[in-house]
Amino acid sequence: MTAAPTVYDVAERSGVSIATVSRVYRNPDSVRAATRERVLAAAKELGYVPSGNARGLASRSTGVLGLCFPDYADPAADADDDDAAMLYSDQIIRGMERAARRHGYALLIAASLQGGPESLVAKVAGRVDGFAVMARTVPTEELEVISRRRPVVMLAGPREGAESLDHLDHIEVANEEGQRELTRHLIEDHGLRRPAYVGTAEESPDVEARFRGFRRACRDAGVEVPDEPAVRVGMMTQAEGARAAGLLCDRPGGRPDAFVFANDQMAVGALHALERRGVAVPDDVVVTGFDGITLSRLVRPALTTVRQPMVRMGEEATEILVQRLTGERSGDPVSLMLPVSVARRASCGCGEGE
């Protein structure tokens, strides 16, 4: 039996390097048309079929990109909600996978609960060419080690002031400005004067930025500016949102006129809890979220929220990693700030909206 042709045979037949043959199959647009056609013609003559393992041996690459993020799965959510919710991380995965496929890469995903990311990250990082990681998912020391061997893109939140991570590419969204605009809408357009913000016990960089935006809007409008969120929850889930709604309804001094949640999951949980209590939204109290997950449009009343470009974030992360890997981008780290938009819907009294 004749041995199957290899990438070395194609490179020799077409008169190019092994790396060029690899780029023809992985990222064809990065190779000149004439060279690409010559390589493909040689491969056809030889009967060569590209092998992911062979490519990896030849170029010391895997053809895989990695993504690591905290597992925000909501144990209180019904199983039937999984597809409808399309949580924050799901949309980022969709964007990364879509862009990775365009460039001939696969995507390896690791979701980790607090206390367990270190071992997961080490395993994933050893199997990928480039790595995207949600802020505060991976200890700084591990990111430093990983980034010495392969490109790393940080997603969401600032770099946490860690000088050692300043060299990493970074993508975030306009959290502060988005929350400021939503809160301004509630105060100025709806005349609300007692909004209450619900955050997390251990603030993420994103949630901290959102609370700053909330406080800015209150200050600009002459509304009392809180030093701390009205409620801090353990995890930003539907169950915690429902619990927070109960605490705010029973708060001494009267119920606030708006519950401003740091994400959509909590806001959806609050809507269910308020319905059970017989509290009408938005007539008795306004409820808002942040993220723009699919479920925010499907609940009743539809949820007023700040929409993040989550799919685009995933796509941008992949593009940066591929550019680093192919040498199309080098030098100073990328720092992208993606815009957000306010979706005005029924839960604030704006009708069904967008």
**Tokens, residue 253:** 């001094």
Q: How far is it, in rounded angstroms, from Cα 116 to Cα 125? A: 15
CATH code at 87? 3.40.50.2300
pLDDT of 69 reads 77
Distance CA 341, CA 250 (A): 32
Q: What's the CATH code of the domain at 15?
A: 1.10.260.40
Determine contact, residues 157/206, Cβ cutoff 8 Å.
yes
Among 20, 42, 59, residue at a domain's last position: 59
- 184 and 144 in a common domain: no
Element (H, E) at 325: helix 310-326
157 in the same domain as 119: yes
Residues 150 and 165 in one domain: yes
DSSP at 30 = G
User: Is residue 353 assigned to a domain?
Assistant: no
Collapsed DSSP state (helix, strand, coil) of residue 138:
coil
Residue 1 lies in a domain: no
With respect to residue 204, please indicate whether it lies within any of the assigned structural domains.
yes
So what's the pLDDT on residue 205?
A: 82
φ, ψ at 302 (rounded to 5°): -55, 145
Find, among 302, 289, 295, 290, the residue nearest to 349 by Cα: 302
Give the strand order in the sheet containing 231-233: 231-233, 195-200, 258-261, 286-288
Full pLDDT tens readout for the chain, 354 residues: 456 677 778 888 998 887 788 778 777 777 889 998 999 899 888 877 665 444 444 455 788 998 887 755 544 444 444 433 346 778 898 899 999 999 999 998 876 544 444 456 666 777 889 989 887 777 777 777 778 788 999 998 765 555 556 788 999 999 999 999 999 999 999 999 999 999 987 767 889 999 999 999 999 999 999 999 999 998 888 999 999 999 999 999 899 999 999 999 999 999 999 999 999 999 999 999 999 998 899 999 999 999 999 999 999 999 999 999 989 988 889 999 999 999 999 999 997 655
Q: Rounded to 5 degrees, what are φ and ψ at 91? A: -70, -35
What's the domain count of the chain? 3
Q: State the pLDDT at residue 109.
A: 83
Report the helix count and the strand count for the chain, using DSSP H and E: 14, 12
User: Which pairing describes strands 341-343 and 305-307: parallel, antiparallel, or unpaired?
Assistant: antiparallel
- Nearest 5°: the CA angle 295, 156, 306 is 40
Concatenated DSSP letters for 237-292? SHHHHHHHHHHHHT-TT---SEEEESSHHHHHHHHHHHHHHT--TTTT-EEE-SB-
Q: How far is it, in rounded angstroms, from Cα 157 to Cα 154?
A: 8
Q: Assess whether 15 and 108 both reside in one domain.
A: no
193 & 284 share domain: yes
Same-domain status, 207 and 273: yes
Element (H, E) at 98: helix 88-102
180 in the same domain as 156 = no
Tokens of 330: 């080098």
Position 2 in a domain: no
Q: What is the pLDDT of residue 306?
A: 98
Instruction: Give a yes or no: residue 46 inside a domain.
Output: yes
Q: Say yes or no: 304 and 182 in one domain.
A: yes
22, 43, 59 — which closes off a domain?
59
Per-residue confidence (pLDDT) for residue 86, from 0 to 100: 45
Contact assessment for residue 168 and residue 153, using Cβ atoms and an 8 Å cutoff: yes
pTM equals 0.76
Neighbours of 206 (CB within 10 A): 26
Question: Do the domain assignments include residue 298?
Answer: yes
Nearest residue to 99 (alpha-carbon basis) of 285, 263, 320, 305: 320
* Amino acid 170: pLDDT: 93
pLDDT at 77: 46
On whether both 97 and 37 belong to a single domain, the answer is: no
Tokens describing residue 83: 């597809």
> Is 289 a domain residue?
yes
Give yes or no: residues 53 and 80 share one domain: no
Domain co-membership, 233 together with 255: yes
Decide if 162 is inside a domain: yes
Instruction: Give the range of the structural domain holding residue 85, as residue numbers without chain letter.
Output: 64-173+310-339
**Residue of 314, 319, 304 whose CA lies nearest to 338:** 314
Q: Are residues 133 and 33 in the same domain?
A: no
d(CA 285, CA 269): 15
